[in-house]
Amino acid sequence: VMIAVLMLISILVIIVTFLCIRFTLLAKVEDDYREIGVLKAVGLRVSGIKKLYLAKYGAIAAVGGLLGFLLSTLLQGPFLQNIRLFMGESDNALLGTLFGIIGAVVIFLVVMLYVNGVLRRFRKISPAQAIRFGAPQDKAKAARLLQLNKSRFLPINGFLGIKDILARKGLYVTMLLVLVISSFLLVMPQNIYSTVSARSFMTNMGIGMCDTRFDIQQTDNILDKTAEIDTYLQQDSSVERHAVLISRMFELRIEDGTAGSLKVELGDHTAFPVEYASGSAPASDTEIALSTSNADDLSKSVGDSIVLVVDGRETTLTVCGLYSDITNGGMTAKANFSTNQTDVLWVTIPVDFYDGVSISDKIMEYRTQYPFAKVANIDDYIDQTYGSTIAAIQTASYVAIAATVVLAILVTLLFMRMLVTKDLHSIAVLKSMGFTSADVRRQYLTRAVVVLVLGVCIGTVMANTLGEGFGVALVSAFGASSFHFTINPLFAYVFYPLLMAACVWVATVLGVSSIRRIKVSDYIKE
pLDDT at 494: 86
Own/partner pairs, 437-443, CB within 8 angstroms, 24+ separation = 437/515, 437/516, 437/518, 439/156, 439/157, 440/157, 440/512, 440/515, 441/509, 441/512, 441/515, 442/157, 442/158, 442/161, 443/157, 443/158, 443/160, 443/161, 443/164
Beta bridge partners of 318: 287, 305
List helix spans (H) across 32-45: 33-41
- Kindly report the CA angle at 307 between 302 and 309, in degrees rounded to 5? 140
pLDDT at 421: 79
215 has pLDDT over 60: yes
Q: What global pTM score does this model have?
A: 0.73
Rounded CA separation 235/239 (Å): 8
DSSP secondary structure, 442-506, as one string: HHHHHHHHHHHHHHHHHHHHHHHHHHHHHHHHHHGGGT--S------HHIIIIIHHHHHHHHHHH
Asked if residue 448 lies in contact with residue 416, where contact means CB atoms within 8 angstroms, the answer is yes
Residue 229: band (very low, low, confident or very high) from pLDDT cuts 50, 70, 90: very high
Residue 133: band (very low, low, confident or very high) from pLDDT cuts 50, 70, 90: low
Residue 225: band (very low, low, confident or very high) from pLDDT cuts 50, 70, 90: very high
230 has pLDDT over 90: yes
Asked if residue 158 lies in contact with residue 131, where contact means CB atoms within 8 angstroms, the answer is no
Which whole number is the average pLDDT over 45-59? 86
Distances (CA, A) of 264 to 182, 230, 327: 45, 20, 12
Rounded CA separation 273/209 (Å): 7
Which whole number is the average pLDDT over 83-94? 73
Which whole number is the average pLDDT over 436-443? 88
Distances (CA, A) of 98 to 61, 69, 104, 109, 368: 19, 11, 10, 17, 54
pLDDT at 265: 92
The average confidence (pLDDT) of the chain is 83
Say which amino acid occupies 479.
G
Asked if residue 4 lies in contact with residue 477, where contact means CB atoms within 8 angstroms, the answer is yes
Rounded CA separation 282/289 (Å): 6
Which whole number is the average pLDDT over 182-190? 85
